[in-house]
């Protein structure tokens, strides 16, 4: 797949997304739909009414015919404050100590939507390295599973002033195609692709838009997809760089090390 360019209205000015040679999973919706979903997420955040969807199996019958299909249905709509309050509570409950006792406040997260920190090559490189750690669910039985990935050094993208960071996962038994993050130009958000699951969610799970901010010596990003949200941070604690993620239904903790060093 060759280079492509998306132009869309955003909070202030125009958003130009450079998407080139994406490593795709079976949920990749195509470049046009990816662009549309990113813009939809941006507009939802700007309106302060952020919907989250669930994949629902719907069946119907007509005479002798019977069929089922998966459909995305909105199950809740939240404000930026409500979203940030939930994510910050999850971070402060589970990840604060791991990140060197870095406590976050709801207003810091919420402010990122109106004044996101600029993100270039140096900022992405703060996340570079082999990420060794686990994701733990806070619902059900609270299961944990290994979640290893390698975040590469950011490189210039096809358009001048844009940067791309590729992410390679080790997800044995799941889908396991790679992901990527991008930023640049005069844009006020960051964006990317992370398929997560093999089931087709029509791009609403893989497409994500981020709002970066800094707090307590940590670089953080509020990530929105069409189905969920995450508050991710990276910080050097002592001599070790650490990354955390807080979602609505779980949290993750990783240490970062050289790619040559196995987890």
Q: What is the pLDDT of residues 96-109, one digit of tens each?
A: 999 999 999 999 99
The pLDDT of residue 2 is above 70: no
Residue pLDDT, tens place only, 176-185: 457 899 998 7
Give residue 1's pLDDT: 24
Residue pLDDT, tens place only, 188-199: 899 998 876 656
> Model's pTM, two decimal places?
0.84
Give residue 17's pLDDT: 36
Structure tokens at 51: 């919907």
Residue pLDDT, tens place only, 196-227: 665 666 667 788 999 999 999 999 999 999 88
CB neighbours of 229 closer than 8 A, spacing ≥ 6? 50, 52, 83, 87, 222, 223, 247, 248
Residue pLDDT, tens place only, 119-135: 999 999 999 999 999 99
CA dist list (Å): 67 to 61, 64, 198: 6, 10, 22
Give residue 214's pLDDT: 97
Give residue 185's pLDDT: 79
Give residue 199's pLDDT: 65
Give residue 168's pLDDT: 87
Average pLDDT (25-40) is: 74
Return the bridge partners of 222, or none. Answer: 211, 231
Work out the angle between the directed axes of helices 106-114 and 80-90 (0-180°, nearest 10): 140
Roughly how many angstroms between the first and final C-alpha of the chain, as a whole number? 33
Confidence of residue 58 (pLDDT cuts 50, 70, 90): confident
The domain ranges of the chain are 4-257
- Comparing 34-38, 113-117, 152-156, the range with the smallest average pLDDT is 34-38
d(CA 191, CA 50): 17
Closest listed residue to residue 191, CA positions, set 204, 203, 178, 208: 208
């Amino acid at each position: 797949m060759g280079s492509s360019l998306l132009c869309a209205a955003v909070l202030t000015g125009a958003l130009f997304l450079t998407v080139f040679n994406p490593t795709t999973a079976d949920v990749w919706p195509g470049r046009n739909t990816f662009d549309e979903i990113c813009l939809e997420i941006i507009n939802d955040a700007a309106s302060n009414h952020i919907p989250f969807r669930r994949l629902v199996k719907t069946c119907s019958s007509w005479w002798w015919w019977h069929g089922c299909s998966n459909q995305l249905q909105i199950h809740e709509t939240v404000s930026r404050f409500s979203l940030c309050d939930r994510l910050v509570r999850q971070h402060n409950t589970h990840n604060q100590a791991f990140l060197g006792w870095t406590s976050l406040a709801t207003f810091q997260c919420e402010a990122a939507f109106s004044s996101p920190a600029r993100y270039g090559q140096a900022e992405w490189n703060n996340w570079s390295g082999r990420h060794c750690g686990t994701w733990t669910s806070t619902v059900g039985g609270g299961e944990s599973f290994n979640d290893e990935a390698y975040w590469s050094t950011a490189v210039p993208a096809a358009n001048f002033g844009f940067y791309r960071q590729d992410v390679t996962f080790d997800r044995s038994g799941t889908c396991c195609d790679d992901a990527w993050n991008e930023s640049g130009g005069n844009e006020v958000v960051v964006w990317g692709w992370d398929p997560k699951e093999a089931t087709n969610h029509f791009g609403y799970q893989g497409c994500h838009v981020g709002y970066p901010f800094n707090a307590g010596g940590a670089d953080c990003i509020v990530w929105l997809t069409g189905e969920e949200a995450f508050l991710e941070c990276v910080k050097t604690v002592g001599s070790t760089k650490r990354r955390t993620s807080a979602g609505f239904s779980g949290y993750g903790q990783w240490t970062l090390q050289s790619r040559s060093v196995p987890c």
